[in-house]
Structures are given as C-alpha cells and as structure tokens.
Amino acid sequence: MRSGPPAEAVVVGTRRSALAQRQTARVVELLEAAWPGLSCEVRPIVTQGDRTQASEQPLPEIGGKGLFTAELEQGLRDGGLDLAVHSLKDLPTEDPLDVTIGAVCPRDDARDCLVSRDGSTLAGLADGAVVGTSSLRRSAQLHAFRPGLDVRSIRGNVDTRIRKVHEGAFEGTVLAAAGILRLGLEDEVSEWLPVEAMLPAPGQGALGVQCRTGDARVLELLAAIDDPAARATTTSERAFLRALGGGCAAPVAAHAGQVGTEAVHLVGLVLSPDGREIVRVEGEGAAEDVGERLAREALAAGADRILAAVRG
C-alpha cells in the first residue's frame, strides 16, 4: 500500500451518457487500485452540450467542445467536485488558470471506425451514400478520400448515432474506436479505419482527469494513475492544435507515437472543410516542442490561409 493522502472520499464529476459513465468507472477503478481505501462518489452532471443533442445543430456552430466541459469545470471551482473525467479530445487545449489536467490515463485505441447499415467498408459505400459525423476533422477527411459521399451532421451519443444508421437516416457514421470498445459495441463496426486513412483528433482515445490547480492532495492521488506515454503523445498532439489556434472548429488532426523514452513522432494534418486542400507535417522531438514546431511549419505551408477561411 502506498503512503500519501489520507484514504477519504473524493467526488468525481462526469456527464450522464453511458460512455461517460463507463469512462468514469475506469478512472475510479484505477484510483481505488492505486489508493486502497479511497472512496469515490460519482456525481453525474448535465452539460449544455448534452442539452443541445436533440437539436441536431452542428457542434462547431453552437460553441464547440467547451459545451461539454464548462459545467464540470465550474463544479471544480465551486468545490462540489474534486475530479472531472473527460474524453481528452473533448477538452479545449487552453487550460483555465484554476483548473488543470491532473492525470492522463493509459490510452486506448486512438483510431476511428465506421458503422454502416449494410456492413460496407468506407471504400465500399456507394457514391451519394449519406455518412454522418459531428466532426469537421472527420468530415474533411471523408471529403478528401471519398469525395462522392454525402457527409452530413449527426448528433447524439454513440448508441443514438448507431440507431440512426440502423433506422436508415444514414448509410454510415464514423465514430471513435475507443468509445465503441469501452461500450462493448465491437460487433457494430464495419471497418476499423487505420490512422493512415483517417488521422485521429488530438488526444483521441485518452481520458483526461481535471482537478483544481494547486489542490495538492488530489494532484497526488492523480499522479498515481498518470500514464507517461499517454501524457507525452497527447501533449504533443494538443500542442500542435493549440499552436495552430484552430480550436475545435477547425479540421485539424494529429497523432503521435513514442520514440524511445524522450521523444515522440508526430503527424499532423490541417484540411479545408471540403477536403480539397491538405497540409501534412511530420517530425520527431520532445513532446511539446515538436507539436509547436510542426504547427509553425503547417502555418507556413498554407494552414494559416485554411484556418483563416474556416474562421470566416
């Protein structure tokens, strides 16, 4: 048994979706294994993003990823929550001064996957097939690599999107593989998309656990479940996105792998929403440094113009 903070309760905030609950259960499992005797109270929170799911409005048009995190961050500030669990790809890259990412948990599959109504692969979908995604990154890559598809916005949690495909509203939808795996829905997958075909979002597949900046007890608790490899690769990816200044409303993709113990290999993409313009950069280095360096290279290669057009 490790020494450290007293074994007392912590309150863990999460969204109400089945996926969020599953992800939070995993974090609680890791914490309780690291700190025997620790009691974790899970407190579900409804976010603005959850309240807009039924509207079908494209996420970037109504505020982006922050819609799913603001209420949880406020719960940390108010003291009602000690921790908040997120899919790291959903967290804005700029941390508020009073909230920090105390742990990045071991990373699951970072790929995307296709769920199609008739089991078709991405290459096998007919021209004109309607494919749903709420991500500009996915939409742009679909336009680039399958220009004949009819890509439309789709909202809702994982099971809702899959249901919409089965009911015929869409021929297919592209989803994060990690979410499918966490929910045990592997049988729904028509194709696991390699990163070479669909580069993931920065941080995809990793869980980020927020806490109050300066909360020494909670930071020590979280240090025990922080995964160095996941921290390094996602730091690189998020540094790339942050340095681009694109935010969640830009078609930006990034994926890093560890090289030895000190460096990562990072691939980044910036695409126009129609997929006709693609800036690709690649390199190795210290996590944050290579992310920022490749962002500068991408901007110099035309990403600045793409991002300016997206911002309008």
Report yes or no: 19 and 158 within 8 Å, Cβ to Cβ.
yes
Question: Strand, coil or helix: what is 249?
Answer: helix
The angle at the Cα of 106, spanning 37 to 262, to the nearest 5 degrees, equals 120
Question: What distance in Å separates the CA atoms of residue 76 and residue 60, rounded to the nearest whole number?
Answer: 25
Question: What distance in Å separates the CA atoms of residue 119 and residue 172, rounded to the nearest whole number?
Answer: 9
- Of residues 255, 133, 115, 248, the one with CA closest to residue 191: 115
Has 90 been annotated as catalytic?
yes
First and final CA of the chain: distance in angstroms? 55
- Of residues 282, 247, 240, the one with CA closest to residue 90: 247
Catalytic residue among 90, 108, 112, 215, which? 90
Cα 175 to chain centroid, rounded: 11
Residues with a catalytic annotation lie at 90
